[in-house]
Chains A and B, each alone.
Chain A
Amino acid sequence: MSAAVKKSVRILANIRLEEGIYDMLLEAGKMAEAAKPGQFISLYCKREGRLLPRPISICETDKEKGRIRLVYRVAGKGTKEFSELRAGDEIECIGPLGNGFALEGARALIIGGGIGIPPLLELAKQLKCDKKIILGYRDVTFLDKDFEGFGEVYIAAEDGSAGIKGNVMDVVKAYDFPADIIYACGPAPMLKAVKEYAESRNIKAQLSLEERMACGIGACLACVCRSVETDHHLNVRSKRVCKEGPVFYADEIIL
């Protein structure tokens, strides 16, 4: 039994952080109480022609005030529509969905790339251990200031406009941080590189995956990823990103 609910919630704020990146605060009530770092909620469009809910990872939760913060990228017409909503508007959503990160380890590397960075913020807040936080961007940075105070923050920008010129793996390899757990979310090539690095150093890693979804609750089998072992539920070598994931141990899955 999951704690997911479907309901209409009020938008408290919805501002542009950077070109194409938006920051939405929701009055989510019990949804916020139930949410774990790494879980997601799915938002519904108001335009009836756009049927499917858009899965968006939870960036921060305030359980006392019942608030959920989402930082999302405008990737298509649905997220464009979300970006045009104003404080005071209502939005239909379902969640929290998925499994979330397991909090563990004594020395953690938290690695985020681009729009994979937001779900790591709540993780960084809740994880009580030594943390190195490596954030990678193509050019403009966002959310990097929010991570300060939760660990040592390192920035990589591909265009060299901030931090180290290059990607997150350039930072990871340059410093060769000692770690017993890696948490990562970002584009597929980055996750693949993180997985290889974790395996080569024999470090446990939790990776948060992204895949196109329809239902978001485990029924449609659209969002599967390949798994090493036969999945208990599906009885084939794949797992549902929305249900068994989006967070997987690196050694469970094939990227």
Chain B
Amino acid sequence: MDERNKLKTEVTIAGITFKNPVTTASGTFGSGMEYCEYVNLSRLGAVTTKGVSLTPWEGNPTPRVAETYGGMLNAIGLQNPGIDVFIKRDLPFLRSFDTRIIVNVIGKTAEEYCEVAERLSECDVDMLEINISCPNVKEGGIAFGQDPARVEAITSQVKKHSKKPIIIKLSPNVTDISETARAAEAGGADAVSLINTITGMKIDIERMTFLLANKTGGLSGPAIKPIAVRMVYQAANAVKIPVIGMGGIMDGDDALEFIMAGATMVAVGTANFLNPKATEEVIEGIEAYMARKNIRDINELIGCVR
């Protein structure tokens, strides 16, 4: 352990230092309450919360999830208790741990995103992640995330209303990820995160209908990792702002791929569903690699593959 204590795992985004580069992918970790009996939340670089909207959202009809080979489809539909409950209950809970808090922001309209961002700016949170890439809602979400002009417009609008640094969460459901990444940067984003889920579909051949009530869902898990690594690499080479990488990270080795491709931080998502301790194990995996390779500072690895 003495050796590992000398390892420098801190990373910095928009002037904010994280003790290590590992956070949670929005929507897979709630606000941490369900996981705190399995994971020491203070061990994490940050907790990224489930999407928070102005009013409570009920989400989509069930079935909302389906397993696919090496992955899963979800169409939860951004169900959440709304910002009032989040501020009153979830935030104090998260603040009782020694970790950074990134709040994922959702809305049906640009105004709603701005209002949520404004209210969270008055709270003790570290950063906001603006979710313009959820494929499972009719209004908001991906509607803002596929056209570079709209990405830039919503970014600059939210940026004006936010006193906290903002991360724009990008969709992989685009022809050229560099374009949307550059649009977010041009709009004033402090960082970009990617990838959100890839739109998919599963048919129940017994019932002869769609497996998900929403027909389509977002594909996540190790099945999408190579796509995510490629997109993180492209985005990191397209912009100067930091990139937060995610998509199928199951262990430290997976996380390191993203970091070497150019991610300053990484997020663990679907892995939490099959292993509640996944986040801590990813951190341990990164540290073990650094010790084995005699790498003193994680920053040496960020984007080391060119």
Contacts and interface: CB of A to CB of B under 8 A. Distances in A.
Interface in A233-251: 233-238, 243
A222 B34 contact: no
A224 B79 contact: yes
Nearest to A234: B81
A177 to B, nearest CB: 32
Interface stretch (A30-38, A43-51, A129-137, A190-198): A43-51
Contacts of B270: 51
Nearest to A224: B62
Nearest to A51: B274
Contacts, number: 102
B64 A51 contact: no
B66 A218 contact: no
A164 interface: no
A219 B28 contact: yes
Interface residues of A, number: 34
Interface stretch (A79-87, A112-120, A154-162, A208-216): A208-216
A114 B267 CA distance: 42
> Contact size class for B?
35 or more
A6 B66 CA distance: 22
A6 B276 contact: yes
B34 A218 contact: yes
Given A2-B37, A220-B74, A235-B56, A52 B62 contact: no
Name the 9 nearest CB pairs between A and B, nearest first.
A235-B81, A222-B65, A219-B34, A215-B273, A219-B30, A218-B34, A212-B63, A222-B64, A214-B273
17 contacts: A6-B38, A48-B70, A49-B69, A50-B67, A51-B67, A52-B274, A213-B65, A214-B74, A214-B273, A220-B76, A221-B64, A222-B74, A234-B79, A234-B81, A235-B81, A237-B58, A243-B34
